[in-house]
Amino acid sequence: MSERPVVVIPSDDPAQCQGSPWIEKLKERADVRLFTGRPGCMEEQIARVADATAIINSRSYIEWKSGTLAQLAALKFITVCGIGTDSIDLEAARSRGVLVSNIPGKTAPVVAEHALGLIMAAAKRAAYYTSELRAGNWVKKDGVFLRGKTVGILGTGNIGAETARLCRAIGMNVVAWTFNPSDERARDLGVEYVELDDLLRRSDVVSIHVRLSPQTTGLIGKRELGLMKEGAILANLARGPVVDEHALIEALNSGRLGAAALDVFGEEPLPADHPLLSCEQVVLTPHVADMTPEGLELLNQGVVENVLAFLDGKPQNVVN
């Protein structure tokens, strides 16, 4: 076993860390092992990281649950390439002395721009018109003029705050909801905090940016969708399980909800026969909100800085 710490990237598919100058910088301090393909089974996943001191989890589909962590005696640190840590059993990691870090805030402008792009595409029926034109149909329906409309932001962390700023920039009114509102935060963000039901009733667009937790799983279900304005747009940039997809599909197919703009899903990759794909008024992207060259390098910088801080005995952005 090497005397230098071993840092493993167990799956870099699609490519993110490959060729990054930040990963090259990390090689000055550690033995870095990067796997470009997905593990074929759990045994292969464990074998890849068997002697790892640290893991860079660049893809959320690689999960680190209690039974898996118990087999990794050398492991001391995991960093995710983003904010969400739902792929890791944080309590099991803590009990085994494994620190877990994330990257808060770095890619907020990138993700927020994607959120606004999805909202604009849904409001202007971009995906619908593209599909109709490809089918040889010249059809026209009313779109949504967003200026002067109200957007409700669920979750006002870094991404939610930046999304609110962008929406204000195109002339939208902004209301927001969070578990811990404050007058000071409202002034800083230029938003009005309201109760969740009030936000749903008032908003022409609802944009979701909360982290996934037991409190937020199923946060938007049939009741909540029923409170929204007829013809409203729902955008989800958080995690798929925050929204009850069955209720969402029902609301879309009934025509009560105007459109959905989604970057995240309850099951990823999205199955080819998923009923969301048959909904007429949806704009869908495959969990790629931060996948621009700039966004990926910000994430690569973040994970390397997290690993280096851990190796220096000064861990940062620890979530457990």
State pLDDT tens for residues 50-82: 999 999 998 878 999 999 999 999 999 999 998
Give the CA dihedral 261, 219, 68, 19, nearest 10 degrees: 30
Point out the catalytic residue in the list 287, 294, 297, 305. Answer: 287
Check if 287 is active-site: yes
Question: Is-contact 192 236, C-beta < 8 A?
Answer: no
Total-model pTM = 0.90
Region of residue 155 (left: phi > 0; alpha: psi -120 to 50; beta: else): left
216: amino acid identity, one letter: T
> Where do the DSSP E strands lie in 61-139?
77-80, 99-101
Is 223 noted as a catalytic residue in this protein?
Answer: no
In this predicted structure, what is the pLDDT of residue 58?
A: 87
Q: Which two tokens stand for residue 157?
A: 């962390």
**For the segment 131-166, what is each residue's pLDDT rounded down to a tens digit?**
999 999 999 999 999 999 999 999 999 999 999 999
Q: Which of 63, 268, 280, 294 is catalytic?
A: 268
274-294 mean pLDDT: 96
Please say whether the beta carbons of 285 and 118 come within 8 A: yes
Backbone angles phi, psi at 211, to 5 degrees: -80, 155
Q: Which of 162, 239, 245, 305 is catalytic?
A: 239
- Cα–Cα nearest to 206, from 280, 257, 265: 257
Q: Could you say which DSSP state residue 38 is in?
A: -
Interatomic CA distance for residues 90 and 95, integer angstroms: 9
Whether residue 44 lies in the annotated active site: no
Residues 137 and 130: their CA atoms lie apart, in Å, by: 10
Determine the pLDDT at residue 14.
87
> CA 294, CA 307: separation in Å to the nearest integer?
20
Closest CA to 211 of 50, 65, 84: 84
Q: In 202-211, which positions are buried (b, 16+ CB within 10 angstroms) versus exposed (e)?
A: bbbbbbbbbb
pLDDT tens per residue, range 227-241 = 999 999 999 999 999
**Under a CB-based contact definition with an 8 Å cutoff, are residues 299 and 15 in contact?**
no
Mean pLDDT of 235-249: 98
Contacts 24+ apart (CB under 8 A), 224-229: 224/196, 224/197, 224/200, 225/251, 225/256, 225/257, 226/251, 226/256, 227/197, 227/200, 227/201, 228/200, 228/201, 228/203, 228/257, 229/201, 229/202, 229/203, 229/204
Mean pLDDT score of the chain = 96
Instruction: Give the full edge-to-edge strand order of the sheet including 31-34.
Output: 31-34, 6-9, 54-57, 77-80, 99-101
Burial label for 299, CB within 10 Å (0-12, 13-18, 19+), is buried
The Cα–Cα gap between 263 and 261 comes to 7
Query: Are 249 and 222 within 8 A, CB to CB?
Result: no
CA dist., res. 50 & res. 77, Å (int): 13
Tens-digit pLDDT profile for residues 287-318: 999 999 999 999 999 999 999 999 999 999 99
pLDDT band at 1 (very low <50, low <70, confident <90, very high): very low
Name the nearest CA neighbour of 174 among 187, 182, 109, 134. 187
